[in-house]
Structure 1
């Protein structure tokens, strides 16, 4: 049996938080109905609150962010039964990296990937070429991820988002924003969530990452779009009954949006500490948030993660040779210092002399991410 890691030393993801007493009380006191029939008052309140925060006409509670991203392109195509669209996403985005099989298998989506710039934006020439190719029998959806996960959580500003949206709209494409960590981007940039969401035709927004809610996300857009999404959610088996029990802690989580700045501060201290470890290389983006990616010269990512786990610190190994640390509300500065100390211990145990290139696979194969994990 696998033993759950302590959230205080678990840096694999900001999904590793646990609901606190206030969230559990909200769950216990939640007024519920049946969301399948549209009469759960707590779900309705959550959907209206998120729609107002993001500046969209409507929002729909989804069990997971992954399901939100599966429903998003299907709803853009129209009601269930419409031909699934082409989806263009950055090669290193969550949708392309971890959700591709589900989009193809369960959605019938034709997934096309495009190279990304160091900040996470898609290469404009490559994106233009794919958009210009078009499709006679299906529409096109362009996805942008903010924050950019594989770019160490870089926050993309509204101008950058508008540039991609304008290009997508020039070719008649639907523009979807995977904003699982859009709250982190808004706090890092010091702007309202609605400013970052405004260029998008649809937005997936998570309450179960940095905000600390126990489950769920929301898919936002026009009322007509959300109605298509609601039908598609039912088709996929994602409808919930007394869902106010999970909507209630999500409302608590939304009230803690400004506290994400504390996670960003912890990540900055962590990055500085890891960078001081001999042999360590830390990737820090132009607009950092709550992620830190690091690697040790001569050590594959999976081996580094295993070494850190031996010291009680859990991280996520990535195929680019880095391991990912994500700061979240269960961490404090003691957690940060423990993580730095653990990496220093792993580095100190390495043999002297030249080692493998950090991107070279270990003898057992490169570390990988479980496909169904919400990272």
Structure 2
């Protein structure tokens, strides 16, 4: 029996479906020109489409596996780490959740700077830290029950008085500048007040209290417990530190003494920068200031490698310090946070 395929299919009238299989369907049909009661029709077109879809899916799965393998090989490459970090920071900045989270974390009340306090107005609590220029202690103001920290420093010689007064003025100025930016969270420790003892040889700078200690304590606690920081916590800390520096540098301010002891923590793993004794604001139109010191293990190479070390006092040129010095210290601290050691010096050098 000879027939044309198109003519045959056009004149085939389907009555009902008898069954379906993996390669097609079986119909009860009647041909208008021939007496055919049962016709098994294999839908080859449908089979071909299914084979093409399976092939496409296999290619996509193979491509996905290759991308995952490449990602594993490259995930710790420095450039890619920076790319991932940049993406993370952009997402954090764009996230309304971050803004909401920041606004729910209590900050020190915006109060006027108090210069009428006396030592007897406070209940002394635990010591929080000790530096080259003084001791920091947790205190509670008796009248308001305000938790604060005071920094006790020498205030006797003309040099000591000038240094303390300059630090107070710089802190007030910097906090005021950042406060005017209307940021949802201020990454600067708020200065609350200042007073001296009766003998006028000790000064007390009253500061916002940061309940979670400092970054040095955080790293030391991890060492003692034998734990390491998680990747998510690492990214959060990097973001916090980076945004803290952004609040300073975008307003032309150089901290100049960044180190784990000056990175304070509050609830929600938020960061507050402290100790602005060496901080400077750049002059208009200038992006550098004269270097005045800093902590040796966190100094930038261009400061430590200065040729001024071999010169006589009258031959010394002024060292120019830029925001790059803060960024160098930022990188050293991140290394310490992850590796729990300084990248270049041993603990003995860091403690001196």
State TM-score, norm by structure 2. Answer: 0.20
Higher relative contact order (CA 8 A, sep 6+): 1
Larger strand fraction of residues: 2
The structure with more radius of gyration: 2
Give the structure-1-normalised TM-score: 0.19
